[in-house]
Structure 1
């Protein structure tokens, strides 16, 4: 059974790239042609690359590995959160904090701080604090939850990351490469695919396309 069909990709608009004025020549091998000033991505190649990524993730998870889903642009936030939750994997969909991978110990301490603040809130200890102190901690908790809730259970560095929009998430990609963590990434026509271990040529600006890609990776996990 095919992991994904050509029809599904066409319906989701996976084949639409950026305007021809905005492109990275290193994506040339993944481009089928051009229509009305828009690059059209070669979905035959997308299909092959999706299958490669699917097998990699399936085997990684079967051997006890985990995958961090990353996508902070508006069109990626919900797909990343929904499908990461669906397959029980961590995610970052609000803001990539510098050092999330390269300075993981510090990030882990911030997660612990968030969990301690949550405990204080849930046990009613907030109500025993001076109002000003409780207000400040409450605000800090909201900020921590916004940025770190998706990795609260990660516990260790991921064995791979799945990225929607590798250009926007270049810091995440750079950190992963520095640590030798494989990167699976949806690569649109304006990015460099050569820095991605498992590039999946596709539209990273459409919600439906991002949902489709995130779902495939989630299914590989399950």
Structure 2
């Protein structure tokens, strides 16, 4: 079964590129034609690249990786947040903080501060403070949640990025390259394909286009999680099987032990029999001698 159909892509407007005067010549190979001053993206190629991106994301998640969803432009904010929350992946949909990847240690401190303020508010930590202090702390928490709320549970740099509009998110893409983190992204006709590891040619401006392509990535994440769970279950069964085999060997060894002891206990009787054997031989020899001697 196809990950997504040509009809779904057409209905979502994935094939619409930018105006012909706003394009990147490097995207020429992904363009099907030009119509009314608008470039039309070759959706046949899009389907091929979607399959490649799907497999990469699936395998990354299956091996324990995480995908960071990035889309801060207005059209991308809602689909990015909805899909990332639905599948339990981190996301950035407001503003990308410089150093979010390359200086993750500092970002982690800000995350700690955000959680500290959240706990303070929920546990009555604001009591006894002035209204001004409470207002300042609340504003600080709100600001941190707006920027860092989507990565609150991201304890290390992600395994890969899903990016909507590489031109707008160029800082995120550059940081990913510095850390050798693969980038999967929608490539519109004004983008540079050289900065993306797994390109998905398509419209990165229409909400429906962004939503359908992001759902494809989310489907890959879900399949990756299922594969990870199946591998973990298989490993647990193998471990249980090995444990049962070891227990069976131990039980068998305990059952055989009394038999060996009994054999050792019976051994003296055999020795005694061997000791009595010379007396029987002597008696038989005397009887033979009596028969051979003639009566007087």
Is 1:49 matched up with 2:49?
Answer: yes
Report the count of equivalent residues.
222
Q: Looking at secondary structure, tell me which structure has more helix per residue.
A: 2
Q: In 2, distance between residues paired with 1:25 and 1:45?
A: 17
Partner of 1:64: 64
Partner of 1:90: 90
Q: In 1, distance between residues paired with 2:129 and 2:74?
A: 37
Q: Which is greater in Rg?
A: 2
Q: In 2, distance between residues paired with 1:47 and 1:128?
A: 60
Partner of 2:154: 154
**Matches of residues 2-17 of structure 1 in structure 2 within 5 Å?**
2-17=2-17
Structure 2 unaligned residues grouped into runs of 5+ = 223-296
Q: In 1, distance between residues paired with 2:65 and 2:132?
A: 43
Q: In 2, distance between residues paired with 1:79 and 1:159?
A: 21
**Matches of residues 44-193 of structure 1 in structure 2 within 5 Å?**
44-193=44-193
Q: In 2, distance between residues paired with 1:217 and 1:128?
A: 48
Structure 1 unaligned residues grouped into runs of 5+ = none
Displacement after TM superposition at 1:124 (Å): 1.3
Is 1:29 matched up with 2:29?
Answer: yes
- Cα RMSD (Å): 0.6
Displacement after TM superposition at 1:18 (Å): 0.2
Q: What is the SS of the residue equivalent to 2:116?
A: helix
Deviations 1:92-128 (A, max 9, x none): 0000000010000101110110000000100111132
Instruction: Give the number of the structure with larger relative contact order, counting CA–CA contacts within 8 Å between residues 6 or more apart.
Output: 1
Deviations 1:45-73 (A, max 9, x none): 10011110000000000000000000000
Q: TM-score, normalised by structure 2?
A: 0.74
